Chain A
Amino acid sequence: MNSFIQLENFSKLTPYTSLFLQGVVVTVMLSICTVAIGFILALILSAMRMSRVYPFAFLGLDAEGHQREKGLGVTIGKFNPLAFLATAYVEILRSTPVIVQVAVIYYGVFGALIDLPSFTFFGFIKFERFFPGVVALGMNSGAYLCEIMRSGIQSIDGGQTEAARSLGMSQYQNMRYIILPQAIKNILPAIANEFVVIIKESAITYTIGVQDIMSAVNAVRGATFIIIEPLLVATAIYFCLCFPTSKLIAYFERRMSRGDRR
């Protein structure tokens, strides 16, 4: 009788060890690059969402320069194009599946619009597949990180801003010296957690031929027709990457919050 897992199948995997090792390198590289892109994108997006750019504010003022209370002019005056764009981006990226986004970026943007040079680096990473994967995942995590940053900043007690502003500090100085130093401490663990999420989510890039851990599984399946055992190996690898990372984050989170029990 065939059992679910056949131990001798694992020994058949040994010739493919290097494939899995390369997959690990690709997955880790992919995650690091993605978080880097996502982080920078999120900085820009959250700055846009919280900006106070009101190009039509004058429509909401009366002849003496007072803010009017109601009317079409007031509504248009409160329109912030930067915040609108950033919000639209975040909502679209958060409301569509990653696998669709990856496909659109790979086949759409880099397939039809932009030609990527085709070369390999590190000896086995194909740039023309790796790069679109990073861009797509980075764009996606940028949207999520933006929300993390925004909520982290907005979680700081409003009294802090009031105190800073009442001392004559500008909105920028308030952000720079009062809000961000406190917010970053709240946000860092969430950003680190996003890294763990990306390690797992990056598996989706095998659909566009990025040779990560998941694609190693498929390669082995194609060559040997064994499925369960390589999948178990992949499961173990992903677990070994993610579990220690999240434990490490939890450890630092506890250490950081030690100082400020209120």
Chain B
Amino acid sequence: MGTGDKLIEITDLEKHYNFGAIKALDGVTVEVNRGDVIVVIGPSGSGKSTFLRSLNLLEEPTGGAIIFDGVDITRKKYKDADGKWVKVNMDLHRQKMGMVFQHFNLFPHMTIMDNMILAPVKVKNVPEEEARKKALELLDRVGLRDRADAYPIQLSGGQKQRIAIVRALMMEPEVMLFDEPTSALDPEMVGEVLDVMKQLAKEGMTMVVVTHEMGFAREVGNRVLFMAEGKLLEQGTPSDIFENPQHPRLREFLSKVL
């Protein structure tokens, strides 16, 4: 799965509140390679959501670096090759990172179709016809083509989350970030969302997934990160993590969730 081709390089990432009194992220170093499916697990409050949200700067880290596309996006500006100061355009980087949220965050005042074509048309200036065609194809893939003209309120949770995933895919991102995508769903709807994610992984999409679904982590992930108290305590292949955990904190965590 992983190709060894570096996509995101995260070094010593820190997120401190109150001048270091609270450390939501405390020196996290991870490399994300193209094609990786990285699953982040850990107890609640361990900083895994903060970590994920830092990757596209929905949270602003207070230290460390995130190199994406060769640019350290944690900086507001940087010196280019000619020694000129260049402002970091975060909107540009975010276009290449799709994000799926726990609470779907569909736009309630728009139809599903409009939800999907808004960003491509307004941000990337894709012709509307083309965007519509693409949206229908994607809706087909998740089996929701007939709901294109519905409003989000008319859909079930599982349907909303599937729409949220394809909405992010409309921007043709290089990496997809999932922030507990199944935590707000009824148990019987978890499967349909995980199926879409598995399909994506199979197609080679780079993914970083924060989840409590250990089955998904074991089956789909090629690397599992265990976080607690803002630190990355252990990382490895699913079999390393689940069959042969080293860190006592991880053992304790697994004994509770498995």
Chain A interface (Cβ < 8 Å from any Cβ of B) = 57, 61, 64-67, 69-70, 157, 159-160, 162-170, 173, 177-178, 181-182, 185, 260-262
Contact = CB atoms under 8 A, between A and B. Distances in A.
A75 B91 CA distance: 25
Given A166-B97, A168-B124, 5 more contacts: A69-B16, A69-B62, A157-B105, A162-B101, A182-B108
Contacts of B105: 157, 159-160, 162-163
B76 A67 contact: yes
B: interface residue count bin: 35 or more
A167 B109 contact: no
A260 B151 CA distance: 10
Nearest to A168: B95
B91 A166 contact: no
8 contacts: A163-B99, A163-B107, A166-B177, A167-B167, A168-B171, A170-B123, A260-B153, A262-B153
Contacts of B109: 181-182, 185
B16 A160 contact: no
A177 B117 CA distance: 12
A66 B76 contact: yes
A169 B123 contact: yes
Contacts of A181: 109
Nearest to A185: B109
Interface of B: 16, 19-20, 56, 58, 60, 62-63, 74-79, 85, 88, 91-92, 94-95, 97-99, 101, 103, 105-109, 118-119, 122-124, 153, 164, 167-168, 171, 177
Given A69-B62, A167-B119, A168-B92, A159 B76 contact: no
Contacts of B108: 182, 260, 262
Nearest to B96: A168
A167 B171 contact: yes
Given A69-B16, A159-B103, A160-B107, A166 B122 contact: no
Nearest to B65: A66
A169 B75 contact: no
A59 to B, nearest CB: 12
Contacts of A262: 108, 153
A76 to B, nearest CB: 16
Nearest to A165: B94
Given A69-B62, A167-B167, A169-B119, A61 B76 contact: yes
Nearest to B74: A66
Contact of B168 (A64, A67, A167, A178): A167
B99 to A, nearest CB: 4
A168 B123 contact: yes
Given A69-B16, A173-B123, A166 B75 contact: no
A173 B122 contact: yes
B94 A67 contact: no
A236 B157 CA distance: 53
Nearest to A67: B76
Contacts of B123: 167-170, 173
Contacts of B79: 65
A160 B115 CA distance: 12
Nearest to A68: B62
A260 B108 CA distance: 9
Contacts of A165: 58, 91, 94
